[in-house]
Amino acid sequence: MLGLSRRSFLASSALAAAAGLDARVMISSAFAQNTAEPAKGYYKYNVGAIQVTALYDGIWEKPHDPGFIKNASVEETKEALARASLTTDFVPIPLTVVVLTINGRHVLIDSGSGGGQWQPTAGKLARNMAAAGLDPREVKTILISHFHPDHIFGLMEKGTNKPTFPDAELIVTSTEYKWWTEPGRVEKLPEARKALGQRIQSVFPQWKNFTLVEGEKEVAPGLRLINAPGHTPGHAAYLVASGNHQLMISNDTAYVPALLAPHPEWQGAYDQDGPLAVATRKALIERVIAEKMMVCGAHFPFPGAGVFQKDGTAFAFTPVLA
Ligand SMILES: [Zn+2]
């Protein structure tokens, strides 16, 4: 499926020409992506007195691969995507980053994937942050859910690894930080993760602005860390509470809900400890249903928030923002 119409192709060429850009560059990058961009790359909503700004970083149009989900076939994956009215040509994995504004202070949840460091169809966080009127220099706290590329590469500049947010406090679970930076870790990682492990080990221990957290601590007013291990050993979710309102920032616990709401037992290549990730996912979804809470996730459809309901022995996800 080619989501770009002839009209928008012509419009992007005309825009490129008007902006004095090389039209050939614009055309090739436009054709590299099938999924339409959101009309607006940011979306603001409130949880009580806390403002949430969802920022679109981009999408990974992941080619189908039999190794993607250990206990499901490519056909079953396609069936789940079709039932959610998504394309079956590839697995659409969008990426959304959240900023919370609490008493005028901006708290960023993860850092996006960084320009040109993850997928060519992502790395749009900085642009959408500016469009939303947020100045990255005013971000003084960053909560990091886990150390996968799409969540941490936005902390480091491409090539130099210079910190993008040198003045921000970086909060992460002690488990996650210690696991990735432990001596001998890189050698034990699977081949596909070795480069990530090397980058983490060569950069993060030099930085002095990490705060390591143990337990389910309140990390900012109205914001509590929730342990959600399995996707990675120290993966964290975050619970936002203000007045009678709550939002669970689930990060990668429910990954792509089109796949994992109807099949919470699926163990993906993205989950480091499959059985633990499944148990954590089921418990977190049961909790948000019991507490009638809105949920957002890094790989939910933009702008990323919705509700879960029981559906037999599995779940159904309904986006609530558009
Ligand atoms: Zn992720």
Per-chain residues with Cβ under 5 A from ion ligand 1: 150, 252
Is residue 50 over pLDDT 90? yes
CA of 231 to the centre of ligand 1 (A): 9
User: In the predicted model, what is the mean pLDDT of residues 189-213?
Assistant: 96
CA of 149 to the centre of ligand 1 (A): 8
Round to whole Å and give the CA distance between 27 and 38: 19
Which amino acid belongs to residue 188? K
Is residue 27 over pLDDT 90? no
Where is average pLDDT lowest: 21-25, 49-53, 150-154? 21-25
The per-residue pLDDT for 4 is 36
The per-residue pLDDT for 9 is 36
CA of 61 to the centre of ligand 1 (A): 13
15 band by pLDDT with thresholds 50, 70 and 90: very low
CA of 13 to the centre of ligand 1 (A): 32
Length of the chain as a residue count: 322
Work out whether the CA dihedral 72, 73, 77, 80 comes out positive or negative. negative
Round to whole Å and give the CA distance between 28 and 188: 39
The per-residue pLDDT for 321 is 75
- CA-based nearest residue to 57, from 302, 320, 232: 302
CA of 315 to the centre of ligand 1 (A): 21
311 band by pLDDT with thresholds 50, 70 and 90: very high
The per-residue pLDDT for 32 is 67
Both structure tokens of 116: 């040109």
User: In the predicted model, what is the mean pLDDT of residues 44-72?
Assistant: 96
Query: What mean pLDDT is reported for the chain?
Result: 90
The count of C-alpha atoms lying within 13 angstroms of the C-alpha of 146, restricted to the half-sphere facing its C-beta, is 23
CA of 56 to the centre of ligand 1 (A): 13
Interval 90-131: pLDDT, tens: 999 999 999 999 999 999 999 999 988 888 889 999 999 999
CA of 24 to the centre of ligand 1 (A): 32
1 band by pLDDT with thresholds 50, 70 and 90: very low
Instruction: Give residue for tokens 């109205």.
Output: 222
Interval 164-200: pLDDT, tens: 998 999 999 999 999 999 999 999 999 999 999 999 9
Round to whole Å and give the CA distance between 126 and 182: 31
Both structure tokens of 296: 């957002």
The per-residue pLDDT for 274 is 97
- For residue 189, give the 3-state DSSP assignment: coil
Round to whole Å and give the CA distance between 261 and 173: 26
320 band by pLDDT with thresholds 50, 70 and 90: confident
Residue 59: left (phi > 0), alpha (psi -120 to 50), or beta? beta
List, in order, residues 6 or more apart from 291 with CB less than 8 Å away. Answer: 246
Round to whole Å and give the CA distance between 198 and 191: 11
Pair 71, 102: CB distance under 8 Å: no
Is residue 31 over pLDDT 90? no
The per-residue pLDDT for 14 is 39
Pair 244, 48: CB distance under 8 Å: yes
CA of 222 to the centre of ligand 1 (A): 24
CA of 112 to the centre of ligand 1 (A): 9
The per-residue pLDDT for 20 is 39
Interval 224-270: pLDDT, tens: 999 999 999 999 999 999 999 999 999 999 999 999 999 999 999 99
Round to whole Å and give the CA distance between 225 and 243: 18
CA of 148 to the centre of ligand 1 (A): 6
Interval 124-167: pLDDT, tens: 999 999 999 999 999 999 999 999 999 999 999 999 999 999 89
CA of 151 to the centre of ligand 1 (A): 6
What residues pair up with 172 in beta bridges, in sequence order? 212
CA of 141 to the centre of ligand 1 (A): 20
pTM: 0.89
Is residue 19 over pLDDT 60? no
Write phi, then psi, for 164 (nearest 5 degrees). -75, -30
CA of 58 to the centre of ligand 1 (A): 12
Share of residues in the chain with pLDDT > 70 (%): 90
DSSP, res 22:
-
The per-residue pLDDT for 261 is 97
CA of 6 to the centre of ligand 1 (A): 32
